[in-house]
Amino acid sequence: MIRIALQAKGRLNEDSLKLMKEAGINFDDAKRKLLSKSNDFPIEVLYLRDDDIPQAVAAGVADIGFVGINEIEEKGADVKVIHKLGWGKCRISLAIPKTEEYSGIEYFNGKRIATSYPKILKKFCDENNIVAEVEEIAGSVEIAPAVGMADAIFDIVSSGSTLVSNGLKEVYTVMNSEAAVIANPNLTDEKQALLDQLLFRFESVERSKGQKYILLNIPNDNINDALSILPSMKSPTLLPLAQPGWSSIHAVVSQKLIWDKIEQLKKIGAEDILVLSLEMMVL
């Protein structure tokens, strides 16, 4: 049995549950139970606030977890970052009132900076010989300069629209973050084996993202042209059709290229083109 800590509610919750489900693991959501056991896999899900996940994994209360790299850094928890998940992307940046002129990071010398990430900010200031006053606040950081609580902020940014609507401009990105799978550094062999099994499933699901499965019929004379258009995992599948002189080709194509490929295939006589979603790619 392995225990995973997931965010109970918030920005990482939905993608965390989706990935577990796509990996074939179902359990109750946080509205019903804060600790829930799956029937499909020897795993228990512990729902926590994201701030508490690094500590819970470091202490072995949970064996593994999904959490933002930003929270791991801020908490300085002793956990291993096993696998970056590619979602929950954001950056932690310094921002100042938009009317201020920005000269470079020396600007922050002698300034008061409001943040919910004091550790990351202090480390950045020390590394860059900036002497600033760090004002720690838990939320509503963006409003701090307007109400005279600080001269600048250090906060999470994704689109930047919250900054703009609070009269601020982003001037320096200190770190980029995304969600990651973390693990306690001292897992037993049994738990490590379960984690490896989970990672194999997560990677198979991730590999299929942005990929489509394409099937088409083609006159036999044009098979080579079609094969040169279509990439594949090994080589495309080629099957004879009942109708003489025709074959069917199956291949996996990146979603970004799919229309381009369809147009090229139609030009060489492809017919009955089907494009299907892929759920996982197991190599």
How far is it, in rounded angstroms, from Cα 64 to Cα 85?
Answer: 14
The verdict on 68 binding ligand ATP (CB under 6 A) reads yes
Is 10 a binding residue for ligand ATP by CB under 6 A? The answer is yes
Contacted by 71, from ligand ATP, Mg ion, none: CB < 5 to 8 Å by type: ligand ATP
65 near ligand ATP, judged by CB under 6 A: no
Q: In the block, which residue shows the tokens 């629209």?
A: 161
Partner from ligand ATP, Mg ion, none binding residue 155, C-beta < 5-8 Å depending on class: none
177 binds, among ligand ATP, Mg ion, none (CB under 5 to 8 A by kind): ligand ATP
Determine, following the binding rule CB under 5 A, whether residue 52 of this chain makes contact with Mg ion: no
DSSP of 97-153, one letter per residue? Answer: ETTS---SGGGGTT-EEEES-HHHHHHHHHHTT---EEEE-SS-GGGTTTTTS-SEE
List of residues 6+ apart from 57 with CB closer than 8 A: 5, 63, 64, 65, 67, 77, 79, 182, 183, 184
CB nearer to Mg ion: pick between 51 and 225: 51
Q: Which long-range contacts (CB under 8 A, 24 or more apart) does 125-131 make?
A: 130/105, 130/106
Q: Which amino acid is at 83?
A: H
The single residue among 71, 73, 142, 151 that binds ligand ATP, judged by CB under 6 A, is 71
Tell me how far, at minimum, the Cβ of 160 lies from Mg ion, in Å.
21
Could you say which of 88, 108, 117, 154 contacts ligand ATP (CB under 6 A)? 88
Residue 88 interface partner, choices ligand ATP, Mg ion, none, CB cut-off 5-8 Å depending on type: ligand ATP
What is the nearest approach in angstroms of ligand ATP to the Cβ of residue 163? Answer: 11
* 50 is a contact residue toward Mg ion (CB under 5 A): yes
Q: Using CB under 5 A as the criterion, what x/- string covers residues 71-110 for binding Mg ion?
A: ----------------------------------------
| Contacting residue, 30, 54, 66, 70, with ligand ATP by CB under 6 A | 70
Q: Which long-range contacts (CB under 8 A, 24 or more apart) does 258-262 make?
A: 258/212, 258/214, 261/214, 261/229, 261/230, 262/214
In the sheet that holds 90-97, the strands lie side by side as 133-136, 112-115, 152-157, 90-97, 168-177
Closest to 215 (Cα-Cα) out of 161, 174, 272: 272
Q: Which of helix, strand or coil describes residue 161? A: helix
Give yes or no for residue 156 binding ligand ATP (CB under 6 A). yes
Q: Which stretch binds Mg ion (CB under 5 A): 49-57, 165-173, 188-196, 273-281?
A: 49-57
Site residues (CB under 6 A) for ligand ATP? 7, 10-12, 49-51, 68, 70-71, 88, 90, 156, 158, 177
